[in-house]
Amino acid sequence: MKKITLFSIILLLAETLLSQTKLPALFSDNMVLQQQFEAPFWGWAEPGENIIVKGSWNNKAINTTTNPNGKWSLNLPTPKAGGPYFVTINSDTLHNVLIGEIWVCSGQSNMQWALDQSMNSEEDIPNANNSNIRLFYVARQLSDEPQKDCHAWWDECTPETAKDFSAVAYYFGKNLNEALNVPIGLIHTSWGGSTAQAWMSEDVLRSDSDYALYYERQQATERKAKRGNLPIDHQSPNQLYNAMIAPLLPYGIKGAIWYQGESNTGEAVLYEKLFPRMIKNWRDDWKQGDFPFYFVQLAPYEYDTPIIGALLRDAQRKSLNTPNTGMAVTMDIGDPKDIHPTNKHDVGKRLALWALSNDYGKNDLVYSGPLFKSVEIENNKIRLFFDHANGGLMAKDNNLTNFEIAETNRIFYPAQAEIDGETLIVYSKKVKHPVAVRYAFKNTDEASLFNNKGLPASSFRTDSWLIITEKVSIESSFDSISKSFIITLLAPEGFDIYYTTDCTEPNLQSNHYKKPFTLNKSTSIKARVYFDNTPSVAIADYIFIIHLATGKKVKYENKYADKYAAGGDWALVNSIKGGNAFNDGNWQGFSGKNIDVIIDLDEEKTISSISTGFLQIQRSWILFPEKIEYFGSTDGEKFNKLGEVTNEIAQSDEGAIIQDYTLDKISGKYRYIKVFASKIPLPKWHPGAGNDAWFFIDEIVVK
């Protein structure tokens, strides 16, 4: 009898487990459902199983049956904002459920940027106790195929849960909650450094030949990868859509906010088309109409190529032609030396202004700064008209700056600007017959034009002239027999390359590149691309320093990161020095490892100096070593310390800093040179404290 009873219990337990429905991570305790909405619910159970869903606000049962694959879905009508409620799904119960407004918050690092990394975090984090704001933080994942679920859960907003949540999303939600007094649900799904194409579906990208280059780039990267490695990352097409958007579909939402674009600078013309298509991609797949989509325009920043930031900002401005979109301008709250401005409070507030005015009936709010609308030429001056001038324009510190004006020759001169009511008059003594105006159209230009509510104007241009930003890249190989470099210059198909080797700026009268050439002495190469006789605004400048270690064998005690290999074992002695960008292909990266490299000069040589280049970008977790030690040896086994160079640059210094650490006045003959730097942790004040700093090193010059 006891055996039969035990067996019956086991059978009953097995039947119960088999009958339980599996729910996506979105459906859990503490969740928020979109108010007054046919809220989609879905999950998985045994094929043919009956599913009953009830909300405690009315206890009305909604029924469905799983399909042959075990999938079920239904829509649960929700009431006005309120709660907490509970929802039952067969035998499962979801507790502490609120009804309110749901917003998806996505993009790259400026959306990912955490509250505890942001300005005023010491004050705002302790005050982040609000059970009517709920946070859903999607884990960063990659996938080749659309996924059914993600790794995340709903939390009530507390100091502990808010501190590592998106600061922009938090401030956006906080502003909505305070203005509407309804629960707010924030779904945060972002990845620092990601591209827009990574957030789009394969079907959409494959449907347009203009986007084929993304797959061509990916295939080229895969062909270059070492055996056993698949170089798929957060910039690869479709990867983030599949892993971090598809699992959210078709959860009931009010709209989306977006902060991205830095990783698409350099291809603004394509982004002008790509970004609106991404918005349509999301709207089509969510199947909830043209829901509001509000985005952040990039702040001024010193990119390593002229104008690319301004062009991307302009592509974003033009995206406002997409219905039911809005743009938060940040021309006045950025930091030209820091791609991650810490003022996320005003970013979230400005996004919220768009939503409150357009979606929640707060019609008295001024929600946008001036947006260029049209132009009229008045003799030797140009008059500009704006939307959102809101009763008048104003100048920062009574000084309008960063205006340029041009005639048909397309040469722009600095211009004066004067406010005339809701219009602006622009002119220059050097321009008699103006046809075009640009405002804040350099990467680092900051706002000087505002409306009378203090919101800044977007950068803009009135012309549609071709601007080329493509940059020549370079490959080199060292021929140890001839002691010379074989130089290959690369540019996109259809572009011509002109170059010089005498430090002058290349033009159409310079050397026209047709095939690889050789160099056998230290040289500076300047190169630029031309298209239809129009030059690129970017001039590539490569300095070759041929020295005793050039082309020699390098032994690594600790291997560099595969992602920042800079061409491999030869990178530190290839005579090409890295620039201001850590990912320019010339810097070699080390994380959590000592730099410990030995160069074999082939034979004993008299050494007078050794110099090593390092890069620091503390916001990107890249710091200088505390010191660099140099050693010499004749046999490769016993090394004598030649000296050390101590770093004197503060770890807190902002921007990209390049420093050569040179040990002079060396005397003696050595065959082997050793360079050593101990790994260091990120300092306690740093947002990444607790992790090791990155070292980025390039060219060890031995003379």
DSSP assignment of 204-232 equals HHHT-GGGHHHHHHHHHHHHHSPTT----
**What is the number of helices (H) and of strands (E) in the chain?**
11, 40
CA distance linking residue 684 with residue 100, whole number of Å: 39
The residue among 260, 268, 285 whose CA lies nearest residue 538 is 268
Scan for tokens 């219009």, then name that residue: 423
Q: Which amino acid is at 98?
A: L
Count of other CB atoms within 10 angstroms of residue 91: 10
Confidence category of residue 466, pLDDT binned at 50, 70, 90? very high
pLDDT of 322 > 80? The answer is yes
Structure tokens at 49: 């199983």
For the chain, domain boundaries:
24-368, 371-461, 473-544, 553-702
Which pLDDT value is given to residue 126? 97
Q: Are 487 and 524 in contact (CB under 8 A)?
A: no
Rounded average pLDDT over 333-338 = 91
Q: What kind of fold does domain 553-702 have according to CATH?
A: Jelly Rolls (2.60.120)
Structure tokens at 458: 């977007």
Res. 20 pLDDT band, cuts 50 70 90: confident
Residue 10's pLDDT is what? 45
Residue 202 is predicted with a pLDDT of: 97
Amino acid at 523: T
pLDDT score for 112: 96
What b/e readout covers 221-246, taking b as 16+ CB neighbours within 10 angstroms? eeeeeeeeeeebbbbbbbbbbbbbbb
Which contacts (CB < 8 Å, 24+ apart) does range 42-47 have? 42/71, 42/72, 42/73, 42/74, 43/71, 43/72, 43/89, 44/70, 44/71, 44/72, 45/19, 45/20, 45/21, 45/70, 45/72, 45/90, 46/18, 46/19, 46/70
- Report domain 473-544's class: mainly beta
The pair of three-digit structure tokens given for residue 238, joined into one six-digit string:
């479709």
The span from the CA of 466 to the CA of 532, in Å, is 10
> Within 10 A of 652 (CB to CB), how many other CB atoms are there?
10
Say which CATH class 24-368 falls into: alpha beta
**pLDDT, tens digit, 9 for 90 and up, residues 234-253:** 999 999 999 999 999 999 99
Output the six-digit token pair for 277: 């298509």
* Per-residue model confidence as pLDDT tens digits over 288-312: 999 999 999 999 998 888 999 999 9
pLDDT for 566 equals 84
Phi-psi bin for 339: left (phi > 0), alpha (psi -120 to 50), beta?
alpha
Closest CA to 700 of 677, 667, 682, 669: 677
User: Quick one: 596 exposed, middle or buried, by C-beta within 10 A (0-12, 13-18, 19+)?
Assistant: middle
From the list 606, 575, 581, 582, the residue with the least C-alpha distance to 671 is: 606
User: Residue 440 is encoded by which pair of tokens?
Assistant: 């804040």
| DSSP-assigned letters across all residues of 538-602 | --EEEEE---TTTT-EEEESSPPPGGG-TTSTTGGGSSB---S-TTSSS-EEEESS-EEEEEEEE
Phi/psi at 567 (5° precision): 100, -5
With vertex at residue 510, the alpha carbon angle to CA 508 and CA 515, rounded to the nearest 5 degrees, is 105
| Rounded-to-integer distance, Cα 450 and Cα 559, Å | 51
pLDDT at 379: 94
Environment class of residue 10 by beta-carbon count within 10 Å: exposed (0-12), middle (13-18) or buried (19+)?
Answer: exposed
Strands 71-77 and 62-65: unpaired
pLDDT at 191 over 70: yes
Tell me the pLDDT tens digit for each residue of 374-423: 999 999 999 999 999 988 999 988 899 999 999 999 999 999 999 999 99
> What confidence tens digit (pLDDT) does each residue in 631-658 have?
999 999 999 999 999 999 999 887 789 9
Question: What does the pLDDT read at residue 690?
Answer: 84
Cα–Cα distance for residue pair 137/188, rounded to 1 Å: 5
**426 pLDDT band (50/70/90 cuts)?**
very high
Say if strands 381-387 and 416-420 run parallel, antiparallel, or are unpaired: unpaired
